[in-house]
């Protein structure tokens, strides 16, 4: 009995220490991005010049920067806009999607490794059924939350605290962010190309109007998904 109680106490202490480490990590990440010169590096000119010097490795370096940015709570929309502005609408989409997937995966495992045990110890019987439901319907839950634009980085860490399987989280995220990622990168990349060409007559092209239409449509996606969900 005493041995079991001692092990339980030790487990709770370890879980609490890991949860504190997670909170310290999040606080430090937010501080670094908000109150240091790191934020000054995340501009089109500065990052673009740096990636130009990287040559062949520029896409990989950008993906790594995006991955780190997600874990450091850099707004995903900022990273996405930078990717589209630097690489254009198509390659920008690919590199942004890969970076977002890598960042989402790393953030998930940080949350899972440091916070899951503590979160599980706090779950009572009332919340346990929701935790079990997320495990059973992980893919659908993650896909829905991604499609309605649930805040990207908090969800990455938050899902790590639940019982959702990583494969469900990974595939749900991969599919769920494709539409939004493509729309934003296509819009920004198209405008960037027109700006770079200096041919402002292109602003009246079908491609520009199509990108603007997609951009406006993206804001209605959450409402459409919710309407469909209610009808079911």
Structure tokens at 73: 């709570």
- Kindly state the percentage of the chain with pLDDT values over 70: 84
Residue 111 pLDDT: 93
Give CA–CA dist 153/26, Å, rounded. Answer: 11
Query: pLDDT class for 13, splitting at 50, 70, 90?
Result: confident
Structure tokens at 118: 């503590």
Q: Quick one: average pLDDT of 117-122?
A: 80
3-state helix, strand, coil in the chain (%, to 5): 90, 0, 10
Q: Quick one: average pLDDT of 45-70?
A: 94
Say how far residue 80 (Cα) sits from the centre of its chain: 10
Residue 43 is classified by DSSP as S
Residue 1 pLDDT: 47
Is the overall model pTM greater than 0.85, yes or no? no
Sign of CA dihedral 222, 225, 231, 232: negative
Element (H, E) at 208: helix 206-218
Tens of pLDDT along 164-218? 999 999 999 999 999 888 888 888 887 877 766 666 666 666 666 777 777 777 7
Q: Quick one: average pLDDT of 48-63?
A: 94
Tens of pLDDT along 28-48? 998 988 888 888 888 888 999
Residue 4 pLDDT: 55
Closest CA to 63 of 111, 109, 106, 101: 101
Residue 166 pLDDT: 95
Residue 92 pLDDT: 94
Answer whether residue 62 shows pLDDT above 70: yes
Tens of pLDDT along 125-157? 666 777 888 888 889 899 989 988 888 999 999
Mean pLDDT score across all residues of the chain: 85
Structure tokens at 16: 């609490």
Answer whether residue 12 shows pLDDT above 80: yes
Contact 86, 189 (CB under 8 A): no
Contact 23, 111 (CB under 8 A): no
Q: Which residue has the higher pLDDT, 108 or 200?
A: 108
């Amino acid at each position: 009995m005493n041995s079991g109680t001692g092990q339980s106490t030790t487990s709770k202490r370890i879980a609490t220490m890991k949860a504190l480490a997670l909170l310290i990590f999040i606080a430090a990440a937010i501080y670094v991005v908000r109150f240091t010169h790191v934020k000054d590096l995340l501009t089109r000119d500065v990052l673009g010049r740096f990636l130009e010097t990287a040559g062949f490795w520029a896409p990989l370096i950008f993906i790594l920067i995006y991955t780190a940015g997600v874990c450091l709570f850099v707004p995903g929309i900022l990273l996405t806009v930078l990717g589209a502005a630097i690489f254009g609408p198509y390659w920008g989409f690919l590199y942004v999607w890969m970076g977002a997937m890598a960042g989402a995966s790393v953030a998930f495992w940080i949350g899972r490794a440091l916070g899951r045990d503590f979160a599980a110890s706090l779950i009572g019987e009332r919340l346990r059924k929701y935790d079990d439901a997320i495990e059973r319907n992980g893919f659908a839950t993650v896909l829905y939350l991604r499609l309605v634009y649930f805040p990207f980085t908090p969800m990455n860490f938050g899902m790590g605290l639940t019982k959702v399987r990583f494969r469900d989280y990974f595939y749900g995220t991969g599919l769920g962010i494709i539409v939004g990622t493509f729309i934003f990168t296509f819009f920004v990349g198209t405008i960037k190309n027109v700006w770079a060409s200096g041919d402002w007559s292109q602003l009246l092209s079908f491609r520009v109007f199509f990108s603007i239409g997609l951009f406006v449509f993206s804001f209605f996606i959450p409402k459409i998904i919710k309407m469909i969900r209610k009808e079911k």
